[in-house]
Chain A
Amino acid sequence: MIKEGPTVTESDGCALSTQTGGTANGGRSLTVADPTDCSAPKPPCTAAFGVYFNGKQGVLTAGHCATVLLGVPQGQHFVTDTVEGLDLRCVNPCSVATKGYFPNYTSAEYSATRSYAALRPYYNDYTLGWDDYAVWRERYASTQPSGELYIVPGGTAGLNGFFGGFFHITSFAKDSQFPNVGTWVCQGAGNLALRGGLHCGFIENNPGITFTTTTHRSVDIEWGVLSKPGGGEGSSGGPWFYDNIGLGIHTGVSTGPNFWGSFERIEPVFIQLQQVSSTTKLYCMSSATGGSTVTCVP
């Protein structure tokens, strides 16, 4: 059951976006404006995959991102009218020298172009060590669904030579078909993340040593040598995938010697969302080289 949560409006300090249209790609940075400086984004997260939920299109991301970005209490299912864009881009020289969480931007100003879909946090399922996912849905019906991931150039390891641009997800992994330990999988981190781009590694533990719950079972990744230590801050909520198959939603890292990354597996998330809204769908592409957007189930 969806419970009404905090509603954030313009009175909180920043004008809400009026941007219509745009595409809800996975892989893009996801944020809201900082009330203390409306021209700047709050510390970001990353969108995972396009989703259709409760009659609206949007994206999946990590549940704790709503807590970090909006102060929503852990585990609270909520509806809010906060509206912001995906993929706030630097235009002109951009910088956040005074906002230490984006060290890869070092001069000038941010400008939030909101070139992509205006989304609002809508459904959140997150408690510490528990399910960690959320749906951000479109504000405007003009938002386009997407089965694509936009992976910014960067990162340290490619997948089949892929180093940036649109990546086409053509299916999602069922738990029964889940890749084995040793499979090479990849994480996409948005352009506002500490280390945006593609980061890959081997599945080391299944189930993982962190975030093991009754309904969700994370998987640990030992980063590939070139990818260590993954996307870093701002990569939460981003996509994990291998070949053209979506796997899960990035949650965080364990802080042991290897700094394993972990993600929420997509099928349990999908099943739980369907229990809230039976028409829930995930978006993917009809072919690995592109083609039309279709709906998928794990």
Chain B
Amino acid sequence: MKPIDIARLLLVIGAALIVLASCTGSSLPTDADPQNDTTQAVETVPQNDTTQPVETAPQTSSSVPATTVPPDEAVQPIASVRDAIGAPTGTEVRLFGKAVFTDGVMWLCGSILQSGIPSCGEGIEIVGIGVDAFGETQTFLAGTDIWSVEPITVVGVIHDGLVVAISSQPPE
């Protein structure tokens, strides 16, 4: 098994935190230490609550009143791996699928090719979670491919074609 490229991970995580800060309007979490083990799932980053009305930023001109976007018009996170592939940086996603850790890279698969050893038909790379987020796992190729037995849910943000995971849910 190839080692994880720590420098790349740190770069992506750092960029993602900036993206998150800009998305949430908050400062960076005070415990955001790039030396932390980034393969562990992050579970406490707040998510947008789309069930509540979303208020726009205050307007500088008094002639343009602040508006409220009804919940059903709020932007929903992308839910399809296919749509997430190629989505611009900053796009929020909530993806559901089987995950695989192979060659030091984590993938969430929108489809799986069913040869003797499964492989992603359409997949997107994920950083920020580890195989501990998989729930029950299945191993192939002498342990180099670790699959989640059941699909998992990953909430995150696109950054340079990757999903930076904010939280994940193992199979119920």
Contacts and interface: CB of A to CB of B under 8 A. Distances in A.
Interface of A: 31, 42-45, 62, 64-65, 68-69, 100-101, 128-129, 132, 192, 209-211, 230-237, 250-257, 262
Contacts of A255: 96-98, 109-112, 151
B169 to A, nearest CB: 14
Contact of A128 (B80, B117, B121, B138): B121
A256 B97 contact: yes
Main secondary structure of the interface of B (DSSP, over half): strand
B116 interface: yes
A28 to B, nearest CB: 14
Given A100-B139, A256-B96, A211 B111 contact: yes
B115 interface: yes
A31 B118 CA distance: 15
Interface in B102-129: 109-122
A129 B121 contact: yes
Interface in B68-106: 80, 82, 96-98
Nearest to B79: A256
B116 A252 contact: no
A100 B114 CA distance: 15
B115 A64 contact: yes
A251 B116 contact: no
Given A209-B82, A233-B117, A253 B122 contact: no
A43 B117 CA distance: 6
A257 B122 CA distance: 16
9 contacts: A62-B115, A68-B113, A100-B138, A210-B110, A232-B114, A234-B116, A253-B114, A254-B111, A256-B151
A31 B138 CA distance: 22
Contacts, number: 91
A52 to B, nearest CB: 25
B116 A43 contact: yes
A252 B121 CA distance: 8
Contacts of B80: 209
Contacts of B98: 255
B5 to A, nearest CB: 22
Interface string B141-155: 000000000010000
A101 B139 CA distance: 9
Contacts of A31: 116
A211 B121 contact: yes
B12 to A, nearest CB: 22
A210 B114 contact: no
A236 B121 CA distance: 12
A151 to B, nearest CB: 17
A210 B82 CA distance: 8
B121 A68 contact: no
Given A255-B110, A257-B96, A69 B115 contact: yes
A210 B111 CA distance: 7
Give the interface centre of A69, A232, A253 by most chain B CB atoms within 10 Å. Answer: A253
Contacts of A65: 115
Nearest to B140: A101
A142 B119 CA distance: 35
Give the interface centre of A231, A237, A254 by most chain B CB atoms within 10 Å. Answer: A254
Nearest to B116: A43
B46 to A, nearest CB: 26
B113 A62 contact: yes
A165 B96 CA distance: 38
B122 A233 contact: no
Contacts of B138: 100
Nearest to A234: B116
A68 to B, nearest CB: 4
B110 A236 contact: no
